[in-house]
Amino acid sequence: MHGTVSHARPARSAGIPFAAVALPALCIAAFVLLIATRPQVPGDGAQAATLDGILLWNSIMPRAVLTLIAGAALGLSGALLQQVLRNPIADASTLGIASGAELAMTAALSVSPLLIGFPREIVAFGGGLGAVAIVLALSWRRGLDPVTVALSGMIVSMIAAALSVTLILARGEYAMSIYIWGAGSLSQQDWSGVLSLGPRLILGFAAAMLLVRPLRILTLDDTSARSLGLALHSARFAILALAVWLAASVTAEVGVIGFLGLAAPAIARLFGARSTATLMISAPITGAGLLFFTDCLMQILGPGFTDLAPTGAATALLGGPLLLFLLPRLHSVSSAGAEPAPSLRRLTKPLAVLAALCVAILLLFVTFLALGPADDGWHVATGPLFTDLLPFRLPRLIVAAGAGGMLAAAGFIMQRVTGNPIASPEVLGISSGAGAGLTVALFLFGFPPPVVMLPAMALGALAAFAAMIAMSARAQFSPERMLLAGVGIGAFAMAIVTMVLAQGDMRGYVLLAWLSGSTNRAGAFEAWTAVISLLVLVAPLPFLGRWLTMLPLGGNSSRALGLRVGASRLALATLAALMTAIASFLVGPLSLTGLIAPHLARLAGFHRPGQQLAASVLFGAGVLMTADWLSRIVIYPYQVPVGLFAALIGGPYLIWLLSRKDIMQ
């Protein structure tokens, strides 16, 4: 393994870190304020006093103790993961453990509510262990390089989250309660959670103390660790299993607590935790304090007896900024030994191939309109049957084609603006930014009309794109750093979405339908929106060919050729943000079409910007139309949301793309 955990300069040179002293004082003050300001229980004097005592000793106190235990367990889990993987951004959220555990729990409870009596921690542990096993398998060839591990975790988390959303939509109100649980609600009605999770923390902490020497040796390189007699693979597996067990136990008990395992060890190091033993003590203390303070704050700010937001969703808001803060501390070797990009073939008659591609897309469109399964087998609809099916199939096919074309064009723009072949609206968090804009609109206006939702999503997408450009410009738009910046921005944006989702009202169903990318309800308005937006927003791009040709050369070279880099990037970013927002409104944020389509155009041999743009739009339309058609037939008579189905196709493609040395350079 080549990556190392980089430490910031400590505030104290030795001893228990400052955070271990300051955080308890802050938490005590917050808890005192919570008790002093909590609402009065209604009723007469004696009855109110009795109810108040029950509320205090059967809800508030067990919640407080459970919060401390859960925070400590996640802090310890994060410290173990970061030490064993030598990766400062490893935790249950970035490695897909939390998403895998949540998917396993959601699947088990969706299949049969009777499984709620089955030990939940076993189900969650299996899901979390499966997710982290996939992540490590994807990054093993690169020596568990920190950047590759984080990006693989992003992919696994995205696919697991998409599957969870689909299960929730399929199960309706019952599964909506699963999602509220999954957002990390710490509300308690008795001491059972404390009695369940407390012994696990004690056992986990004792095991971690026994593993201090192997953990210390694992901070060395593999050769040095073996020379000191450490059974490398056995030690790693034991430590990983312990970390996953702690995180999965918390997830099974209270849901997903986002990014706490990332924050606690990082803050402990910033305030002086240097040795492995000190980190194993201070990270749980820091995690307990962070979660306790956040939970008190959510209760204090919430109206009446309800929380402002689930605590797990609130802690996830820390994840994006903290991940971006830690990016400079990542040491990656994925660029080591990079091979030059292979020369792709060039078409001798690109216009003829474009014409053939147009014909192929039209044939696909007609085929998907007419061909489909029925109870008695496959049928090609003709005559009256075709006319009857047209109002149902035509709008959703048009929506899929238009959204696919816009996402492809947006991805093409982003790859040209940044000179980065892995840039796309979905991967860089731009689609998630659009979702944050939609969430803000739902929060401010209740159920706003599309004329309000679309501008809000466009503003969110533009803000996310601008933030990504600003953060990755210093690293010369390195593919790795840009992707991780996108992970951070996407995490922050999706935390905002989750906070509204977890409220459990009808706005949550609006967001769930958007997350899944379903086209089931597509009608004339959505179809005309897709067509008009595609024509209006893509039409200016052929006239901006000079910008699209020069920007991949880099800022300095473009300026030397007389290009106003800032103005051109802003104009193109605005077009890309608008296309992303409208396409995300139509088919959700997860399709990955904006990544796949420009690559298909290049692989087909289109190299000039104008020709590549046209081919990308056609490929994007074809990919999403095909995904929409397959989503209707793969589990007929039921349907898979097209955004999810496209993500399940695009996720493996992104994994393959990240494994290529000529890309990650």
Beta strands 377-380 and 371-374, pairing class: antiparallel
538 vs 382, higher pLDDT: 538
Q: Which helix (H) or strand (E) holds 372?
A: strand 371-374
Burial grade of 577 (CB within 10 A; 0-12, 13-18, 19 or more): buried
Place of tokens 């808001």: 317
Q: What percent of the chain has pLDDT over 70?
A: 84
Residue 345, pLDDT score: 62
Q: What is the 3-state secondary structure (H, E, C) of 406-434?
A: HHHHHHHHHHHHHCCCCCCCCCCCHHHHH
Model pLDDT for residues 580-615, shown as the tens digit of each residue: 889 988 888 877 788 889 988 988 888 888 899 999
Q: Answer yes or no: are the C-beta atoms of 491 and 320 closer than 8 Å.
A: yes
228 vs 165, higher pLDDT: 228
Q: Answer yes or no: are the C-beta atoms of 575 and 465 closer than 8 Å.
A: no
Tell me the pLDDT band of 334, cut-offs 50, 70 and 90.
Answer: very low
Q: Count of CB atoms within 10 A of residue 32's CB?
A: 11
pLDDT at 215 over 80: yes
Q: Terminus-to-terminus CA distance in the chain, angstroms?
A: 18
Tell me the pLDDT band of 280, cut-offs 50, 70 and 90.
Answer: very high
Q: What is the mean pLDDT of residues 379-396?
A: 86
Q: How far apart are CA 35 and CA 449, in angstroms?
A: 41
Q: What is the mean pLDDT of residues 509-532?
A: 82
pLDDT at 3 over 70: no
503 vs 558, higher pLDDT: 558
Q: What is the largest CA-CA distance in the chain?
A: 90
Q: Answer yes or no: are the C-beta atoms of 182 and 255 closer than 8 Å.
A: yes
Q: Count of CB atoms within 10 A of residue 291's CB?
A: 33
Burial grade of 216 (CB within 10 A; 0-12, 13-18, 19 or more): middle
Distances (CA, A) of 204 to 73, 211, 247, 440: 8, 10, 11, 40
Q: What 3-state DSSP class applies to 197?
A: helix
Q: How far apart are CA 364 and CA 370, in angstroms?
A: 10
Residue 327, pLDDT score: 63
Of 121-130, 198-207, 259-268, the range with the highest mean pLDDT is: 198-207
Tell me the pLDDT band of 651, cut-offs 50, 70 and 90.
Answer: confident
Q: Count of CB atoms within 10 A of residue 389's CB?
A: 15
Burial grade of 256 (CB within 10 A; 0-12, 13-18, 19 or more): buried
Q: Answer yes or no: are the C-beta atoms of 23 and 285 closer than 8 Å.
A: yes
Residue 471, pLDDT score: 76
pLDDT at 174 over 50: no
Residue 556, pLDDT score: 76
Q: What 3-state DSSP class applies to 221?
A: coil
Residue 181, pLDDT score: 57
Of 183-187, 324-328, 546-550, the range with the highest mean pLDDT is: 546-550
Rg over alpha carbons for the chain, rounded to the nearest Å, is 26
List the single range of 125-129, 173-177, 572-576, 652-656 with lowest mean pLDDT: 173-177
Residue 467, pLDDT score: 83
pLDDT at 183 over 70: no
Residue 504, pLDDT score: 62
118 vs 267, higher pLDDT: 267
Residue 407, pLDDT score: 93
- Residue 372 token pair: 């489909």
Q: Answer yes or no: are the C-beta atoms of 166 and 644 closer than 8 Å.
A: yes
Tell me the pLDDT band of 468, cut-offs 50, 70 and 90.
Answer: confident
Q: What is the mean pLDDT of residues 452-466?
A: 87
Tell me the pLDDT band of 236, cut-offs 50, 70 and 90.
Answer: confident
List the single range of 36-40, 395-399, 471-475 with lowest mean pLDDT: 471-475
Distances (CA, A) of 545 to 551, 552, 578: 10, 12, 19
pLDDT at 664 over 70: no
Model pLDDT for residues 341-378, shown as the tens digit of each residue: 444 567 788 889 999 999 999 999 999 998 888 777 78
- Residue 160 token pair: 């697991």
Residue 478, pLDDT score: 64
Tell me the pLDDT band of 15, cut-offs 50, 70 and 90.
Answer: very low
Distances (CA, A) of 523 to 142, 506, 535, 632: 47, 21, 19, 17
Q: How far apart are CA 385 and CA 176, in angstroms?
A: 37
**429-455 exposure pattern, b = at least 16 Cβ within 10 A, e = fewer:** bbbbbbbbbbbbbbeeeeebeeeebbe
Burial grade of 388 (CB within 10 A; 0-12, 13-18, 19 or more): exposed
Residue 263, pLDDT score: 85
Residue 382, pLDDT score: 84
484 vs 406, higher pLDDT: 406
Q: What percent of the chain has pLDDT over 90?
A: 18
Strand partners, 371: 380
Q: What is the mean pLDDT of residues 558-573?
A: 81
Would you say the C-alpha torsion 352, 353, 356, 358 has a positive or negative sign? negative
Burial grade of 157 (CB within 10 A; 0-12, 13-18, 19 or more): buried
Tell me the pLDDT band of 6, cut-offs 50, 70 and 90.
Answer: very low
Torsions phi, psi of 93, nearest 5? Answer: -80, -45
Residue 11, pLDDT score: 41
Q: Answer yes or no: are the C-beta atoms of 87 and 218 closer than 8 Å.
A: no
Residue 20, pLDDT score: 55
What is the per-residue DSSP string for 577-597? HHHHHHHHHHH-S---HHHHH
Q: What is the mean pLDDT of residues 201-207?
A: 94
Residue 118, pLDDT score: 61
Mean pLDDT of the chain: 80
Give residues with Cβ within 8 angstroms of 598, minimum separation 6.
408, 411, 412, 415, 424, 612, 616
Of 332-346, 420-434, 609-623, the range with the highest mean pLDDT is: 609-623
Q: What is the mean pLDDT of residues 190-206?
A: 91
pLDDT at 49 over 80: no
Q: Measuring CA to CA, which residue among 76, 514, 548, 117 is closest to residue 277?
A: 76
Residue 652, pLDDT score: 74
pLDDT at 663 over 60: no
Residue 454, pLDDT score: 86
Q: What is the mean pLDDT of residues 40-46?
A: 72
Q: How far apart are CA 396 and CA 639, in angstroms?
A: 13
Q: What 3-state DSSP class applies to 361?
A: helix
**631-652 exposure pattern, b = at least 16 Cβ within 10 A, e = fewer:** bbeeeeeebbbbbbbbbbbbbe
Q: What is the mean pLDDT of residues 282-291?
A: 91
